[in-house]
Structure 1
Amino acid sequence: MKEQKGMGRMWHLYKMGGITPALASMMGAQNAQQMAFIRSMSKEQRKDSIMDQPLDEMEVVVFDLETTGFYPTNGDEIISFGAVLLKGERLVEERSFYSLVNPKRKVPKHITELTGITNEMTEDAPDLMQVLHDFMEFVGKRLLIAHASGHDKHFLNTALWRTSKVNLTHRVLDTIMVAKWLEPGRSSYNLDDLLEQHGIAITERHHALEDSRMTAMLWLRYLKRMLDRNVVTLGDLYAYLSKH
């Protein structure tokens, strides 16, 4: 009976004000505020076009996620977020983001061996809603860049839908796509090989913040080459990428 009353109240709130107050009534004030922020950002993001922004002036966020596996719809979870900020051709050293996430499940042994993230480390970490809120606040309305972005985008989109019932509206640019355009015919486009090719020091792989930093350095190498080719705006870049 109590459960039926709870569902009835949630349905009433949904009819009166939409999904946000309905979910908020079930989640508590802090989570409700975080969800409202994420939903508001998603709505605002859809209004703005960044395609005309000059690449040598634009602020972008290069990010990476570590996860318990490959399938967010089958129980795998994010266990860390990492991100760095670039302003045009400069890495903003004092602006970065890193947080572990409590996945509310055990971290598989092979993931611990790969990432160094243990169950003990995640037990005291903040939950997904908190870290997702903080990450999206760091990102703002900026373009997102990642290497082999499909994995990260899938997990991020799933997390946004699960926590806030919104889809990712930010553009996500994949450095693999840029590499394939600028360096066609390579036998490998994995991050280690590209970093080595461009003389970028490999620090700590499979650490979300360090992978973000290294991917950012790779992007800056490519950005210089794009500017030399008179690829000036994000729209110019997407036009070239669409042909390759």
Structure 2
Amino acid sequence: MMDRRPPGRMWSLYKMGGLTPAITSMFDMQSAQQMAFIRSIMKEQRKNSLYEIPLHTLELVVFDLETTGFSPYNGDEIISVGAVAVNGSEVEDQQTYYSLVNPKRNIPEEIEELTGITNKEASAAPELLHALRGFLEFVQQKVLVAHGTGHDKHFLNAALWRTSKVNLTHRLLDTMMVAKWLNPKLKAYDLDTLLDHYGVKVTQRHHALEDARMTARLWSRLLEQARERDVQTLGDLYMQLSRH
């Protein structure tokens, strides 16, 4: 009788991880290595407890995404990732990450106009898995900060699951939520309103790295205000946010 089992290496990979990882490993070792790295970062992050770390020494990464639209589950894609490191309240302007991402679909005209990212640029950009690997190499196990985290978290989770079958496990702080706690009487909490309220200079909006830089400076102002209210650790901050 003919032996219909796959060749030895493929069969071993299939038994260990299933058909998709087997095929990926056989035909694209670089992608397999990137997937393995992403999965290891998420696994290590689950072990970390950061609640007792003082906020003035906490290492953070403030990030922003530009996307083709608002729904990662209805075909919208990430087109750029920007991030900047922050140590306590000190923005590390020289420690940044930025990458365009090939969405493998057409960028709507209004998004081109808003972000300045053209279809030609995007088509020549790194693929999603490569950009995610670079971003997570930059982040490591640091706490993530963004403004209006729902949008960014949905897109990151969708991208991580599609490429590596993992979910985001990093601690995530939202400058919008912190601002709502500190300034309950403001009429709006969008990024432009808060940048103006805290006197943060606007450089270039809807550019992932520049938005991340401005959000990082906003975080610094919010952190100073929070510490004036005797919020000293990450656990203290989460406790306050849980009440609002």
Q: TM-score when scaled to structure 1? A: 0.93
Tell me, what secondary structure is at the counterpart of 1:56?
Answer: helix
Partner residue, 2:121: 121
Q: Distance in 2 between matches of 1:107 and 1:10?
A: 37
How many Å apart are 1:51 and its aligned residue? 1.0
Deviation for aligned residue 1:185: 2.1
Deviations 1:71-119 (A, max 9, x none): 1111111000000000112111210011101111111101001111101
| 1:93 and 2:128 are equivalent in the alignment | no
Given that 1:23 and 1:32 are in contact with CA atoms closer than 8 Å, whether structure 2 keeps it comes out as: no
Superposed counterparts of 1:69-108, under 5 Å: 69-108=69-108
Deviation at 1:27, TM superposition (A): 5.0
For 1:236, give the aligned amino acid. D
What is the SS of the residue equivalent to 1:35?
helix
Aligned to 2:219: 219
Task: Report the residue type matching 2:87 in the other structure.
Answer: K
Measured in 1, the distance between the counterparts of 2:27 and 2:112 equals: 31
CA gap 1:229/1:27 in 2 versus in 1, 3 angstroms: farther
Which residue matches 2:184? 184
| Amino acid across the alignment from 1:164 | S
Q: Deviations over 1:148-178 (max 9, x none)?
A: 1100000000000000000110111111110
Measure, in 2, the Cα distance between the counterparts of 1:11 and 1:106: 38
Three-state SS of the structure 2 residue aligned to 1:170 is coil
Partner of 2:141: 141
Report if the CA contact (8 A) 2:51-2:235 is conserved.
Answer: yes
Output the CA distance in 1 between the equivalents of 2:23 and 2:231. 45
| Cα distance change of structure 1 residues 190 and 28 upon mapping to structure 2, 3 Å threshold | same
> Per the alignment, in what secondary structure is the counterpart of residue 64 of structure 2?
strand
Identity %: 61
Conserved in 1, the CA contact under 8 Å of 2:157 and 2:168?
A: yes
Q: How does 1:7-86 map to 2 (within 5 A)?
A: 13-15=13-15, 17-19=16-18, 21-22=21-22, 24-25=24-25, 28-86=28-86
SS of 1:224 mapped into structure 2 = helix
Deviation at 1:189?
0.3
Cα distance in 1 for partners of 2:149, 2:5 equals: 43
Seen in structure 2, the aligned counterparts of structure 1 residues 82 and 100 have a Cα distance that, compared at 3 Å, is same
Quick one: distance in 2 between partners of 1:207 and 1:5? 51
Alignment root-mean-square deviation, CA? 2.0
Q: Which amino acid aligns with 1:56?
A: H
What secondary structure does 2:56 align onto?
coil
Specify the code of the residue in structure 1 equivalent to 2:17.
G
Shift of 1:25: 2.7
Shift of the alpha carbon at 1:26? 5.3
Q: How many residues align?
A: 240
The letter for the 2-side match of 1:87 is: N
TM-score, normalising length from structure 2?
0.93
Distance 1:130 1:47 in 2: 25
Contact between 1:80 and 1:101, CA under 8 Å: does it hold in 2?
yes
